[in-house]
Amino acid sequence: MTIEKYRHPILFYGLSIVIPWVLWFIAAYISHIESSNHIYVIVESILGIIGLASPMIVAFILMFLDSDLRNDLFKRLFHFNAIKPFYIIVTCFLMVASILLAQAISLLFGYSPSQFFLAEKFSFSAGLFPAWFLLFIAPLLEELAWHSYGTDCLRKRFNLFTVSIIFAVFWAFWHLPLSFIKDYYQSNLVETGVIYSINFSLSLIPFVILMNWLYYKTGRNIIIAIVFHITAGFFNELFATHPMSKVIQTVLLLILSIVIVIKERDFFFKLEYQEK
């Protein structure tokens, strides 16, 4: 099986956290330098985007050394014939449905109906790069790493549930330096309140479970993972959502992921992966 060739999880995950952390902590230091010199913003932005892209670069280097992995990557990027429409619908609309439902539930606790209005501005910035650009480029670069090499090199060794938990924990730590870069999303969360920072980390658990479920149900299709990731960021920025509604959304997604894991126990807990 092709998945057996994804053999270097320690190398991949080691480089994928060390390189971004080094670049992002430098960017964090630069972001807090008070200066009218635009060179600081330029350097901070470049370091941020290189750090974001570095896991993808590591993954591509590991894959391009093997012709079977190159062919596997091409197949998973461009083959859509085997994907059932149900999974496409879930991929495109689950996240918007969950945030709208979470906002509706928040009304019962006294939060404002104005959450359903479109947001007047984004909740973060990223140096030279506009927020809308990051909402699309970040999922693209990340999933070309996590679901080109990262997930499969873990799946070779563990069942899908374990893979999802391991990766969710890794991903939470991977984002840590972003909490120190001025005006980044994670940094703004810290200023909003500790409960919302904790919620961001915890939300990764159901999110990863659901994304990996879609990924393997669609024959390891990378585009599915990219689109699902994009919808998560885009729809959570589209509305004037109160941060507490995002906490409610996490609970809703956690309930859904538990139901899916229970319903498809073999799919999540069977060690051997069956290629489609």
DSSP 129-186: B-HHHHHHHHHHHHHHHIIIIIHHHHHTTS-HHHHHHHHHHHHHHHTGGGGGSTT-HH
* Residue 34 among the catalytic residues: no
Q: Quick one: pLDDT at residue 275?
A: 65
Residues 258, 268: Cα–Cα separation, whole Å: 11
Q: Quick one: pLDDT at residue 274?
A: 67
Per-residue pLDDT of the chain (276 residues; tens, 9 = 90+): 578 889 999 999 999 999 999 999 999 999 998 877 789 999 999 999 999 999 999 999 999 989 999 999 999 998 887 799 999 999 999 999 999 999 999 999 999 999 999 999 998 888 889 999 999 999 999 999 999 999 999 998 999 999 999 999 999 999 999 999 999 999 999 888 899 999 999 999 999 999 999 999 999 999 999 999 999 999 999 999 999 999 999 999 999 999 999 999 999 999 887 665
Please list the residues that pair with 118 across neighbouring strands: 239
Q: How far is CA 259 from the centre of its chain?
A: 21
Q: Count CB atoms within 10 A of the CB of residue 155.
A: 23
CB 108 within 8 A of CB 242: no
Catalytic residue among 143, 175, 229, 237: 175
Which residue has 């990378």 as its token pair? 222
Q: Quick one: pLDDT at residue 53?
A: 98
Residue 81 is classified by DSSP as T
Residues 116, 118: Cα–Cα separation, whole Å: 7
Q: Quick one: pLDDT at residue 35?
A: 74
| 158 Cβ contact list (under 8 Å, min separation 6) | 166, 271
Q: Quick one: pLDDT at residue 103?
A: 98
Domain boundaries, the chain: 2-269
Backbone angles phi, psi at 205, to 5 degrees: -65, -60
Residues 181, 175: Cα–Cα separation, whole Å: 11
Catalytic residue among 142, 143, 147, 229: 142
Q: Quick one: pLDDT at residue 272?
A: 80
CB 151 within 8 A of CB 6: no
Residue 271 is classified by DSSP as S
* Residue 147 among the catalytic residues: no
Backbone angles phi, psi at 118, to 5 degrees: -70, 140
Single-letter residue type at 155: R
Asked whether the CA dihedral 5, 7, 8, 12 is positive or negative, the reply is positive
CB 3 within 8 A of CB 152: yes
Nearest to 19 by CA among 40, 64, 50, 65: 50
